Amino acid sequence: MSTAKAGDKVKVHYTGKLTDGTQFDSSAGREPLEFEVGAGMMIKGFDAAVNGMAVGDKVTTEIPAAEAYGAENPELIIDVPRTNLPPDLNPEVGQQLGMSQPNGQQVPVRIREVHEDKVVIDANHDLAGKDLIFDIELVEIA
């Protein structure tokens, strides 16, 4: 029986959870996730867990933050004067916004704090700094 290796296109079903059991994503009810093993398309720990699996194998893997979305970067937590926000925006903690970079690329950010004169935004990935648990089932090696 062949096993998944670097360069193989694979399809997997998965459920992602935080260490407290909170589910943040799943392929249940959708098509399986397709990616190329070892191509950098997936977080490092997920890719490593699939490498060596055979079709039908199921695994639960714990992925430390360093092999997932990395540590939270304090440089990506930024104070923004309220005068820089659209006048019709009513900022709320947890609200998602898009911030334009100098090159015009949009970056998703989340409001962490709201003050009278500023808001504190966070451009870290929502899962940065978090250890993750994935239940993975390999359904196809192409």
99 band by pLDDT with thresholds 50, 70 and 90: confident
Residue tagged 């039908």 (tokens)? 56
Please check whether residues 60 and 84 belong to one and the same domain: no
Please check whether residues 65 and 78 belong to one and the same domain: no
Task: Return the pLDDT at 105.
Answer: 87
Q: What is the CATH number of the domain that holds 88?
A: 2.40.10.330
Task: Return the pLDDT at 109.
Answer: 95
Asked if residue 1 is part of any domain, the answer here is no
Please check whether residues 136 and 118 belong to one and the same domain: no
Give 35-71 pLDDT, tens digit per residue.
999 999 999 999 999 999 999 999 999 999 999 999 9
Domain range enclosing 24: 9-70+127-141
Task: Return the pLDDT at 51.
Answer: 96
Number of C-beta neighbours around residue 48 at 10 A? 15
Please check whether residues 21 and 48 belong to one and the same domain: yes
- Determine the average pLDDT of the residues in 111-137: 96
Asked if residue 51 is part of any domain, the answer here is yes
pTM score: 0.83
The closest of 53, 45, 43, 44 to 10, measured between CA atoms, is: 53
